[in-house]
Amino acid sequence: MSPRPLGSRPTLSLVAETAGTSVPTVSKVLRGGTDVSAETRAKVMEAVRAVGYTRRGGPKIESARDESGLSNVLTLVVTHFEGSWANLVIAGVGREAAAAGLDVVLTLAGPHSDWVSRVLRRRSVGTIGTLVDPTSRQFNALFAAGVPVVLIDPMSTPPPGVASVGVANWDGGRMAGEHLLSLGHERMGVVAGHARHLYSRARVDGFRAAADTAPAGGATVSVAHGAWNRAKAAAATHTLLDKDPGITGIFACSDPMALGVYDALGDRGLRVPEDVSVIGFDDLPEAYCVSPGLTTVRQPSTELGAAAVKLLIDLSRSEEGGTRRPARMELATELVVRASTGPAPAGAAPRR
């Protein structure tokens, strides 16, 4: 391979030379073309990574068109559509996109699916990802094609070059902990999501930080993981109470998991909040429909989707296109107090 002059920008020719293929083939791979073998595609993407190629000035919002002639298209990538939180975020994306004259195409990123190639063939102005955790290879493909990317509350730390919008997860967990402490709860449990998810860890860490402000030895926190699933959250609640029957307050890191906490407490003949207080995180419609109404940390779900669109448009219209310095936007959370939290039972004793 010929050495690249110092300070020069990697070119398609350099990528092709490195991959041992032609410039048209490289271009086809970066457009998401389907008539390329998996082996060739892998070689091209490895060459892209090796030389650090990125298309200059990604698709602009004024001229974005896919191969069908559709204009002004934004791609929203998700792993599933089910659930109130996903619906609220999608609604926020749709409304803000419509206000900006953009159409939204939903792309389902199923396990082991080549969703990146579908995104590249669409030639959208950019991509918003939520409930999806792209691999480094997938990020490299989007970067190489000059596609701006915005993630909504990323599951893991995104690489340089990726903008994100999220909420104050740590602060929300802290507020939940402070609320239970203010009600006299000293033995508390947390039903977390996945241990590897950034936002789950942040919520747990914020809750622990609040507990640490209690007098020395005055508050204990036990954690079990419910994997963002109602049934698994119920199982996690049983685990917590089997380990420490004296727990009087439980923080669930999502409202659907809080419903699982309700299920488990009901199975054990425990009342909410007389025996155990419960706090969720989200403020979904389920929070005020359940009985007793769920105290929860509100995250502005619809606003998250709208903010992601605004950030993507800003990136797409910038001179640098998708290579512009990334931004992190964080929206505030707030505690919404309902009937599921109350004073710790007087003289609470371990329950067997």
Of 264 and 7, more confident: 264
pLDDT number for residue 122: 76
Asked if residue 311 belongs to a domain, the reply is: no
Measured CA angle at 306 (ends 300, 311), to 5 deg: 120
**How far apart (Å, rounded) are the C-alpha atoms in residues 175 and 338?**
14
What average pLDDT does the segment 323-339 reach?
A: 85
Residue type, 339: A
* Residue 215 binned pLDDT confidence (cut-offs 50, 70, 90): confident
What average pLDDT does the segment 209-226 reach?
A: 91
pLDDT tens-digit readout, 227-282: 999 999 999 999 999 999 999 999 999 999 999 999 999 999 999 999 999 999 99
Q: Is the pLDDT of residue 152 over 90?
A: yes
Asked if residue 135 belongs to a domain, the reply is: no
Of 218 and 61, more confident: 218
Asked if residue 111 belongs to a domain, the reply is: no
Check which CATH number belongs to the domain holding 196 and give it.
3.40.50.2300
Give bridge partners of residue 127 from the DSSP assignment. 75, 149
pLDDT number for residue 51: 67
**Beta-carbon neighbour count of residue 118 at 10 Å?**
17
Question: Among 56-70, 152-166, 239-253, which stretch is predicted with the lowest mean pLDDT?
Answer: 56-70
Q: Is the pLDDT of residue 64 over 50?
A: no
pLDDT tens-digit readout, 285-303: 999 999 999 999 999 999 9
Q: Is the pLDDT of residue 340 over 50?
A: yes
Asked if residue 132 belongs to a domain, the reply is: no
**How far apart (Å, rounded) are the C-alpha atoms in residues 36 and 42?**
10
Question: Among 102-116, 171-185, 226-240, which stretch is predicted with the lowest mean pLDDT?
Answer: 102-116
pLDDT number for residue 40: 73
Q: Is the pLDDT of residue 337 over 90?
A: yes
Domains: count for the chain: 2
What average pLDDT does the segment 194-217 reach?
A: 93
**How far apart (Å, rounded) are the C-alpha atoms in residues 265 and 280?**
15
Query: What is the pLDDT of the chain when averaged over all its residues?
Result: 85
Of 160 and 234, more confident: 234
Asked if residue 290 belongs to a domain, the reply is: yes
Domain that holds residue 37: 12-51
pLDDT number for residue 35: 63
Asked if residue 294 belongs to a domain, the reply is: yes
User: Is the distance from CB of 191 to CB of 157 less than 8 angstroms?
Assistant: no
Q: Is the pLDDT of residue 70 over 50?
A: no
What average pLDDT does the segment 29-43 reach?
A: 66
Asked if residue 106 belongs to a domain, the reply is: no
Of 161 and 221, more confident: 221
Q: Is the pLDDT of residue 69 over 70?
A: no
Q: Which residue, of 264, 279, 299, is where some domain finishes?
A: 299
Asked if residue 207 belongs to a domain, the reply is: yes
Q: Is the pLDDT of residue 113 over 50?
A: yes
Question: Among 9-18, 47-56, 74-83, 252-261, which stretch is predicted with the lowest mean pLDDT?
Answer: 47-56
Q: Is the pLDDT of residue 203 over 60?
A: yes
pLDDT tens-digit readout, 123-132: 788 999 998 8
pLDDT number for residue 146: 80
